[in-house]
Amino acid sequence: MNILFLVIVLIIIVDFLSNWILDYLNLKNLSEKLPEEAKGIYDEKKYKESQRYYKTNNNFSMISSTFSLCLLLLMLFFNGFAYVDALVRNYTSSPILMTLFFFGILALFSDLLAIPFALYRTFVIEEKFGFNKTTLKTFCLDKIKGCLLAGIIGGGLLALITWFYLSAGTYFWLISWAAISIFSIFMVMFYTSLIVPLFNQLTPLPEGELRSAIEGYCKTVGFMLKNLFVLDSSKRSTKANAYFSGLGAKKKIVLFDTLIAKHTTDELVAVLAHEVGHFKMKHTLIGTFQSILQTGIMLFLLSLFLGNPALAHALGVEHSSFYIDILAFGLLYSPISHVMGILSNIISRRHEFQADAYAKRTYDGAALQSALKKLASDNLSNLTPHPAYVFVHYSHPPLLERLRRLENH
């Protein structure tokens, strides 16, 4: 064991303990009595059910995260990464193939070990609380499609970045940054068109009262809307949602069929007004460039570490390599990643408040409040999260805070 190895282990353990503390604070912050502000969202019975749902998920997450911690520590203390490295070197000497095989093996075994947890969460917890609509066939097909996509897209990007490293040397991080940035923008523009249909059916919102109301609203705010879709989310879950994606002419708004089934026309237009607010205030564009900036910082820092034999030795590996350096750097980079994640969440929560205010200003704040209350109730949301947990993990403000803002601003 060397100093770098101990630093990596310390980072992993501190990360686990900090998350455990936040989960504990969140759990202790649950109120047995229905808060006064929550009346009209939950009745006593459903409020208790929402608390049982949160506690069940929290306990299960602790088990799965502890399992992941133990597995990672076993790989570190018993030279598991060195074993995979030696296995890869027995089959090929190509740096690109070694990188693909190394991360492919780790991803495959990690995914296989995660399947029992995913099955339990879907078919036991979600089923118990009435959310699950996924069949075993759909679950298996999703897994297969996900693995194929990860192999094609993730493997392709990894091979390209490895080739840049071998070819460009010092400037590899700049070229990789440019390539990843182009890919990120492409995915923002075409994700809903190319990836979503592989898992769900997207259909244009049919003519009728809802479409007429939405088109009427869009006309009043000068929002050119051509792509308004309904997603058949009910084949997997009863939970409802909506989202905005794309840039420029490729912008799209997607409403879950479960959202349409449970909300009035006014509530649905208010939800759409919120999504239009994100577009009008360029939140999607800001988020894209924010992600690109974070990627650039990460790649620059990575370039400073590459080629240092200490990284390989910290993982018990004899020979330094591009993929081992990436893995070791990823473990060391975790604290910076968490800080960036917190900053991203702060910006995201601010954007949500702004989009809420836009919906209130251009349509109807009361209708949006009603929609948010229904969403929280239908999804059994935790209404009393601990402020520290919100600060670290929440990309959206807690419901009661959103309602207060809508009421007072």
Please report, as a single letter, which amino acid is at residue 234: S
Query: pLDDT of 317-376, one tens digit each?
Result: 988 899 999 999 999 999 999 999 999 999 999 999 999 999 999 998 999 999 999 988
Please report, as a single letter, which amino acid is at residue 177: W
For residue 29, give every residue at least 6 positions away whose Cβ sits within 8 Å of its Cβ, in sequence order, or none: 384, 385, 386, 389
Query: pLDDT of 141-151, one tens digit each?
Result: 999 999 999 99
The pTM (predicted TM-score) of the whole model is 0.89
The pLDDT value given to residue 31? 80
Query: pLDDT of 77-104, one tens digit each?
Result: 999 999 999 999 999 999 999 999 999 9
The pLDDT value given to residue 10? 95
Q: Is the pLDDT of residue 67 over 90?
A: yes
In this predicted structure, which of 17-31, 212-226, 295-309 has the lowest mean pLDDT?
A: 212-226
Residue 185 and residue 191: Cα distance in Å, rounded? 10
The pLDDT value given to residue 170? 78
Mean pLDDT to the nearest integer, 31-46? 80
For the question of residue 275 being annotated catalytic, the response is yes
Q: Which two tokens stand for residue 232?
A: 């058949």
Rg of the chain (C-alpha set): 23
Mean pLDDT to the nearest integer, 125-130? 93
Phi-psi region of 169 (alpha: psi -120 to 50; beta: other; left: phi over 0): left
Q: Which of 23, 126, 325, 356 is catalytic?
A: 356
Q: Name the band, by pLDDT with cuts 50, 70 and 90, for residue 288.
A: confident
**Class of residue 81 by CB neighbours under 10 A (exposed 0-12, middle 13-18, buried 19+):** buried
161 CB neighbour count, 10 Å cutoff: 23
- Decide if 377 contacts 41 (C-beta within 8 A): yes
The pLDDT value given to residue 250? 72
Q: Name the band, by pLDDT with cuts 50, 70 and 90, for residue 279.
A: confident
Mean pLDDT to the nearest integer, 99-126? 95
The pLDDT value given to residue 1? 54
342 CB neighbour count, 10 Å cutoff: 12
Report the percentage of the chain scoring pLDDT > 90: 65
Q: Looking at 264-385, list the stretches that DSSP marks H as alpha helix, in order from N- to C-terminal side.
A: 265-280, 283-305, 309-314, 322-362, 365-378
Q: State how far the alpha carbon of 4 is from the alpha carbons of 10, 148, 329, in Å.
A: 10, 35, 11
Q: Name the band, by pLDDT with cuts 50, 70 and 90, for residue 385.
A: very high
Report the percentage of the chain scoring pLDDT > 70: 99
Query: pLDDT of 40-54, one tens digit each?
Result: 788 888 888 999 999
Residue 174: which of 329, 298, 321 has the closest Cα?
298
Q: Which of 267, 275, 352, 401 is catalytic?
A: 275
The pLDDT value given to residue 372? 92
In this predicted structure, which of 36-40, 123-127, 135-139, 234-238 has the lowest mean pLDDT?
A: 36-40
Q: Is the pLDDT of residue 130 over 60?
A: yes
